[in-house]
Amino acid sequence: MIPLALSILSSTMIFVVFKLFSRFKINTLHALVVNYIVACFCGIIFQESKMNISEIPHFTWFPFALGLGAMFIMVFNLMAITTQRSGLSVVSVATKMSVVIPIVFGLLYYKESLGIFKVLGIILALAAVYLASIKKQDGLKIKPANFIFPILVFMGSGIIDTTIKYLEGEYIAENDTPIFSATIFAMAALLGILYLIVQAIKGKFKFELKNVLGGIALGIPNYFSVYFLVQALRSDILESSGIFTVNNVAIVMVSTLLGILLFKEKLLTKNWVGIGLAILGILFIAFEKL
C-alpha cells in the first residue's frame, strides 16, 4: 500500500509543479529537459548495487528503456500540440483514460481476475476521470482535423504504462529499478538537449535560471512517480489492472482537490460527481481483493 500511496503522491506533486510553471512563466520544454537530467541522477544515486556504466547496455531491458525515453519526449510534444489546439481538458482526459490499455493488457496477458467488483470499479473510475477532468460546462470540443492528436496522446501514454508493467514483470531485477529508471530519463534528456541545441543554433534559445529551478522541482517527484509505480506493481495488494486504475483515478481526485485548496480553482457539479465516483471506484476495486 505504501509504494502505491507514494506513487500517487509523487504524481500529484508533478501536477502542483506544472501549475506553478504557468504562474512563474517557466518555459515548460526547457524545464522538462532539466527535469529528465535530475531524474536520471536520482536513479544513479539511489541504485544500491555498484554498477559500471559500461554494463548498462548489456541489460536485456536496455533497448526498451531507450524506446521509453524517446516516447516520453514524443508524448510530451503531442500533449503540447493537443493543448494548443483543443485545450488542457482534452489532454487530461486522453492521458488518464489511457489507463484502459495497461488494464486490458493485464487482464489478457497475465490472465488477471475480472470479478463484478473490479468491473464496476474500473467503469466508475473511467467515468470519474472523465468527469473530474472536464473544466468547462459544455464539455470537450475537438475539431475533426485535430482529433488525431488526443488519440496519439492516449495511445502513447497507455503504451508507456503497459511497457513499464511488462518490463517490470519480465526483465527488471528488483535492485535494478533505479538504474532502469535512470536510463529512461537519460535517453529523454539526451533527445531534449539535442532539441535545445537546434533551438540555440536558430537563435531561439534563451537561458533562464527559473527554468533550471523548475526542472529540478519537477525532476525529483517525476523520478519517484516511476520508481514507486514499479514498486507498487511488484506488491501483492492488487493486480496490475487494479494498481493502474487506483493510481490514475487517485491522482485525478487528489490533484483536483489540491487545485481547490492551493490554487482556488472552482469546480463544476460534474467535477464533484467525478470525485465521488473516484472514491466509489477505488472502494469497489479494494473489495475485489477482500
Global pTM?
0.88
Count the Cβ atoms, other than its own, within 10 Å of residue 18. 16
Give the torsion through C-alpha atoms of 5, 38, 252, 145, to 10 deg: -150
C-alpha cell at 81: 500540440
Across 104-118, 204-218, 263-277, the highest mean pLDDT is recorded for 204-218
**Are residues 18 and 8 in contact, defined by beta-carbon separation less than 8 angstroms?**
no
Q: Domain coordinates of the chain in residue numbers?
A: 2-113+141-236
**Whole-number Å distance between alpha carbons of 241 and 126:** 13
Q: What is the reported pLDDT for 23? A: 85
What phi, psi does 152 have (nearest 5°)? -65, -40
Of the candidates 254, 271, 275, the one whose C-alpha atom is nearest the C-alpha of residue 14 is 254
| Mean pLDDT over the full length of the chain | 88
Answer positive or negative: Cα dihedral of 11, 17, 22, 27.
Answer: negative
Q: Measuring CA to CA, how many Å separate 224 from each of 17, 229, 232, 272?
A: 14, 8, 12, 29
pLDDT digits (tens, 9 = 90+) for 61-120: 999 999 999 999 999 888 888 877 877 778 888 888 898 999 999 999 988 888 898 899
Of the candidates 53, 101, 56, 41, the one whose C-alpha atom is nearest the C-alpha of residue 75 is 101
C-alpha cell at 277: 465516483
Q: Is residue 289 very low, low, confident or very high in pLDDT (cuts 50, 70, 90)?
A: low
**Are residues 25 and 31 in contact, defined by beta-carbon separation less than 8 angstroms?**
no
The terminus-to-terminus CA distance of the chain in angstroms comes to: 14
**Are residues 154 and 91 in contact, defined by beta-carbon separation less than 8 angstroms?**
no
Which SS3 state, helix, strand or coil, does residue 250 take?
helix
Of the candidates 242, 168, 163, the one whose C-alpha atom is nearest the C-alpha of residue 1 is 242
**Whole-number Å distance between alpha carbons of 265 and 253:** 14
> How buried is 276 (Cβ within 10 angstroms: 0-12 exposed, 13-18 middle, 19+ buried)?
middle
Q: Is residue 194 very low, low, confident or very high in pLDDT (cuts 50, 70, 90)?
A: very high
Q: What is the reported pLDDT for 163? A: 94
Q: Is residue 13 very low, low, confident or very high in pLDDT (cuts 50, 70, 90)?
A: very high
* Mean pLDDT calculated for residue range 31-46: 93
Q: Measuring CA to CA, how many Å separate 208 from each of 146, 190, 284?
A: 33, 20, 47
Side chain identity, residue 151: I
